[in-house]
C-alpha cells in the first residue's frame, strides 16, 4: 500500500496512490525420471486500486517451471491482464501474452538463455494508447574462452503492430499525425520494431587489475555507445576507477556515423579504519 502523499527520495518506487491484493499458490513435483528433476506449477493473481477505490489493473498469471538435468531450466506461462491507462483513463481489456524462457549452464565455458514473448500488448502512448499485436525476444550468452576473459553478448528485438480488426481500436483513438491515410489503411501496420545489440567484455589482468568494456548499438535510435572502465582494486572497499563514455549517432547518408558525446572520469575510493 502506498498513500497519495508518499514521496520516495531513493529506490525503485515509481508509483503512489496505490493499494493492491496479491495471491500466489504453487506446487512442486519431483518426478523420478532421467530428464526432469523438478516441476514447479504456480498461479499468480493481483488486482490494484487507487485510494478512492478506482480500478487500476488486474493480472492472472499461471506458469510452470521445469528444472532439467545439466542445469537447464524451461519456463512457460500465459498472462491475462486488463488495466486503466493514459491521460483519458481508458480501460483496456483482452491483453494476452505467451512467455517462453530457456536457459542452460550445461558447460563452464558457455551458458545461454533465450526469452520469447508474443501476444497482445498495450502501446503505452499516454495520449493515444492502443492494444497491438507483437512479440519480442532476448538472446544472451556468457562465453569464457579463458580463465581471465568473459564475453557476454546480448540481442534484444521487439516489434508491435496496430490491430487488424477496426473494432479493436479504442473509440477515442486518433490517427497519428505522421500517418497520411485512413484508419482502415493504418490497421495491421507497424507501430515500432527494432533491436539492441550489446556486448560486455571483462578481462582480469591480475588479481587487482581488470578491464570492463561495454559496447551497444541501439537500432531504435541509431545510437552507438562504447564505455570502457579500468579498475584497480586494493580491497573490496578501496579502488581506483578510470573510465570513459563515448556516444555516436548514425545519421546515414553522407554524414554517416558521427561522435556526439565524449566523457572521461576518474574515481578513487579508500576505506579508512578507525
Ordered per-residue pLDDT tens for the chain, 274 residues? 666 666 666 656 666 767 888 999 999 999 888 889 999 999 999 999 888 888 999 999 999 999 998 889 999 999 999 999 989 999 999 999 999 999 998 788 889 999 999 999 999 999 999 999 999 999 999 999 999 999 999 999 999 999 999 999 998 899 998 899 999 999 999 999 999 999 999 999 999 999 999 999 999 989 999 999 999 998 888 899 999 999 998 887 777 888 888 999 999 988 877 7
**How many Cα neighbours within 13 Å face the side chain of 199?**
9
C-alpha cell at 174: 486518433
Q: 79-105: b or e for each residue (b if 16 or more CB lie within 10 Å)? A: bbbbbbbbeeeeebeebebebebbbbe
Question: Could you give the CA distance from residue 172 to residue 128 in angstroms, rounded to a whole number?
Answer: 8
C-alpha cell at 4: 497519495
The whole-number pLDDT of residue 11 equals 59
Question: Could you give the CA distance from residue 159 to residue 136 in angstroms, rounded to a whole number?
Answer: 6
How far the first Cα of the chain sits from its last, in Å, is 42
CB 93 within 8 A of CB 85: no
C-alpha cell at 154: 546480448
Element (H, E) at 184: helix 183-186
C-alpha cell at 132: 497491438
Please give the C-alpha separations between residue 8 and each of 3, 14, 15, 48, 153, in angstroms, as whole numbers: 11, 8, 9, 20, 34
Residue 222's Cβ-count burial label (10 Å; 0-12, 13-18, 19+) is middle
Total-model pTM: 0.83
The whole-number pLDDT of residue 6 equals 63
Question: Could you give the CA distance from residue 255 to residue 242 in angstroms, rounded to a whole number?
Answer: 31
Work out the number of other CB atoms within 10 angstroms of the CB of residue 130. Answer: 21
Strand partners of residue 111: 142
Question: Could you give the CA distance from residue 72 to residue 154 in angstroms, rounded to a whole number?
Answer: 19
CB 226 within 8 A of CB 197: no
**How many Cα neighbours within 13 Å face the side chain of 35?**
2
- The domain spans of the chain are 86-269
Please give the C-alpha separations between residue 146 and each of 150, 151, 202, in angstroms, as whole numbers: 8, 10, 11
CB 130 within 8 A of CB 93: no
Amino acid at each position: 500500500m502506498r498513500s497519495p502523499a508518499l514521496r520516495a527520495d531513493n529506490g525503485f518506487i515509481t508509483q503512489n496512490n496505490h493499494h493492491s491484493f496479491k495471491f500466489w499458490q504453487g506446487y512442486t513435483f519431483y518426478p523420478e525420471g532421467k530428464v526432469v528433476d523438478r516441476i514447479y506449477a504456480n498461479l499468480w493473481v493481483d488486482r490494484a486500486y487507487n485510494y478512492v477505490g478506482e480500478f487500476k489493473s488486474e493480472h492472472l498469471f499461471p506458469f510452470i517451471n521445469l528444472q532439467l538435468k545439466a542445469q537447464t531450466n524451461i519456463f512457460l506461462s500465459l498472462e491475462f491482464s486488463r488495466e486503466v491507462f493514459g491521460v483519458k483513463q481508458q480501460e483496456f481489456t483482452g491483453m494476452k501474452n505467451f512467455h517462453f524462457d530457456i536457459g542452460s549452464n550445461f558447460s563452464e565455458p558457455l551458458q545461454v538463455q533465450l526469452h520469447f514473448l508474443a501476444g497482445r500488448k498495450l502501446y503505452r502512448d499516454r495520449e493515444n494508447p492502443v492494444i497491438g499485436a507483437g512479440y519480442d525476444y532476448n538472446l544472451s550468452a556468457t562465453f569464457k574462452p579463458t580463465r581471465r576473459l568473459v564475453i557476454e553478448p546480448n540481442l534484444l528485438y521487439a516489434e508491435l503492430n496496430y490491430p487488424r480488426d477496426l473494432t479493436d481500436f479504442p473509440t477515442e483513438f486518433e490517427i497519428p499525425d505522421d500517418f497520411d491515410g485512413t484508419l482502415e489503411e493504418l490497421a495491421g501496420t507497424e507501430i515500432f520494431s527494432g533491436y539492441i545489440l550489446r556486448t560486455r567484455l571483462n578481462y582480469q589482468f591480475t588479481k587487482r587489475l581488470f578491464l570492463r568494456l561495454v559496447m551497444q548499438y541501439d537500432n531504435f535510435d541509431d545510437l552507438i555507445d562504447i564505455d570502457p572502465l579500468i579498475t584497480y582494486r586494493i580491497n573490496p572497499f578501496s579502488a581506483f576507477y578510470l573510465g570513459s563514455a563515448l556516444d555516436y549517432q548514425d545519421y546515414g547518408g553522407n554524414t554517416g556515423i558521427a561522435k556526439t558525446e565524449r566523457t572521461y572520469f576518474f574515481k578513487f575510493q579508500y576505506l579508512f579504519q578507525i
